[in-house]
Amino acid sequence: MVKIEIPEDHPRKVSLETREKIIEGHTRHEVATAGLLAHGRGEAFDYLIGEKTNDIAKHAIKVAVAAMLTAHHPVISVNGNVCALVPAETVTLSELTGAALEINLFYYRKEREDAILGALKSAGAKEVLGTHDRPSETIPELSSNRRKVDPDGIGSADVILVPLEDGDRTEALKTIGKFVITIDLNPMSRTAVYSDITIVDNIIRCLPLMVEYARELKDTPLDELLKMVETFDNEKNLADSIKLMRTRLGDLSKNIGSLRQKIQPGANA
Ligand code: ATP
Ligand code: MG
């Protein structure tokens, strides 16, 4: 595949490079074709928040890490998009928080499982749950492939990080009593509204920050971490994220000119 060179000062550089990563992940069979579309939906919401991690998201990230650090058995659920975008950070976060890694796919194919497993192992993962050679149990509320979970992973987890997740599954995880953390750029998705903590941010910015906060918070007394989690209000978090988008759109509607980002002379994209 021809790799596209994006000039340093191109206003859409990060977004275009991220797209390349997803496309490459698709070529390696990690990302499902529907995953490309899900990424596009995420991109649209990223535009609305200005493609920056805001203070609302930073707070949610901190509390999410606190919840993972206080959990008895935290698990990170990995799908193709997560694996293609942030494999190394996902493995590092699992090490810092003691969370198990579990592959869970909406569109299961052995080829995809193998590709994701290989990528996680190359990123340093020692153990990966949810693979076909492992025992499995089912979440009764779901009919698709995703109802299969690993009994040593999601099956017995108390806190689960399910980034870029579908609403049906999040709802099912809530029904069986799990504490669910998600990363979802759309604060109106069913996943966003069913979760206990929703980080409204792009996973490419969010995961490195989760790693940073995990290092920062790992020696914080347990009661302080628990207090952070107990006092978090996800409805307020989502309402504030939606308000931020509304305010930003209001400001932009008064100053369309500010959207004309110039490509510097010499740039050729
Ligand atoms: P739901 O099923 O929760 O109602 P949906 O059907 O709109 O949501 P899905 O495709 O099931 O969407 O889930 C993918 C979610 O991940 C979407 O809400 C999308 O906005 C979000 N998303 C995609 N890419 C990213 C990304 N890079 N960072 C954060 N969120 C993302
Ligand atoms: Mg969905």
Q: Which ligand is nearest to the CA of 189?
A: 1
Ligand nearest to the CA of 42: 1
Closest C-alpha among 62, 56, 116 to residue 86:
116
Banded model confidence at residue 269, pLDDT cuts 50, 70, 90: very low
Average pLDDT over residues 23-37: 97
Ligand 1 pocket test: which of 41, 89, 168, 171 has the largest number of ligand atoms within 8 Å of its C-beta? 41
Residue nearest to atom 25 of ligand 1 (CA): 42
Taking each helix axis from N to C terminus, what angle separates 234-254 and 55-70, rounded to the nearest 10 degrees? 160
CB atoms within 10 A of CB 6: 17
Which ligand does the CA of 205 lie closest to? 1
* pLDDT greater at residue 90 or residue 107: 90
For residue 16, give every residue at least 6 positions away whose Cβ sits within 8 Å of its Cβ, in sequence order, or none. Answer: 4, 6, 10
Q: What is the pLDDT of residue 10?
A: 86
List pLDDT tens digits, range 176-187: 999 999 999 999
At residue 9, the pLDDT reads 84
Q: Out of 2-16, 95-109, 123-137, pick the least confident.
A: 2-16
pLDDT exceeds 50 at position 268 = no
Lowest mean pLDDT segment, chosen from 48-62, 142-156, 173-187 = 142-156
Question: Is 146 a residue whose pLDDT tops 90?
Answer: no
Cα 147 to ligand 2 centroid, rounded to whole Å: 15
Q: What is the pLDDT of residue 16?
A: 93
pLDDT at 177: 95
Pocket of ligand 1 (CB under 6 A): 38-39, 41-42, 45, 164, 166-167, 183-186, 189-191, 202-203
Residues having C-beta closer than 5 Å to ion ligand 2: 166-167
**pLDDT tens track for 60-82:** 999 999 999 999 999 999 999 99
User: Ligand 2 centroid to 168 CA: how many Å?
Assistant: 7
What integer is the mean pLDDT of 189-213? 98
Query: Per-residue pLDDT tens for 240-261?
Result: 999 999 999 999 999 998 888 7
C-alpha 42 to ligand 1 mean position (Å): 6
SS (H, E, C) the chain: CCCCCCCCCCCCHHHHHHHHHHHHHHHCCCCCHHHHHHHHHHHHHHHHHCCCCCHHHHHHHHHHHHHHHHCCCEEEEECHHHHHHCHHHHHHHHHHHCCEEEECCCCCCHHHHHHHHHHHHHCCCCCEECCCCCCCEECCCCCCHHHEECCCCHHHCCEEECCCCCHHHHHHHHHCCCEEEEECCCCCCHHHHHCCEEECCCHHHHHHHHHHHHHHHCCCCHHHHHHHHHCCCHHHHHHHHHHHHHHHHHHHHHCHHHHCCCCCCCCCC
C-alpha distance from residue 15 to each of 45, 51, 52, 58, 177 (Å)? 12, 9, 12, 20, 36
- In this prediction, what percent of the chain has a pLDDT beyond 70? 94
Ligand 2 centre to CA of 159 (Å) is 21
Kindly give the number of the ligand 1 atom that is closest to the alpha carbon of 166: 11
Average pLDDT, rounded, for the chain: 93
* Nearest Cα residue to atom 7 of ligand 1: 189
What does the block give as tokens for 185? 């750029």
Indicate which residue's Cα is closest to atom 22 of ligand 1: 42
Residue of minimum CA distance from atom 1 in ligand 1:
167
Domains, the chain, ordered by start: 55-238 (3.40.50.12640)
Strands 179-183 and 148-149, sheet pairing: unpaired
**Predicted pLDDT at 115:** 98
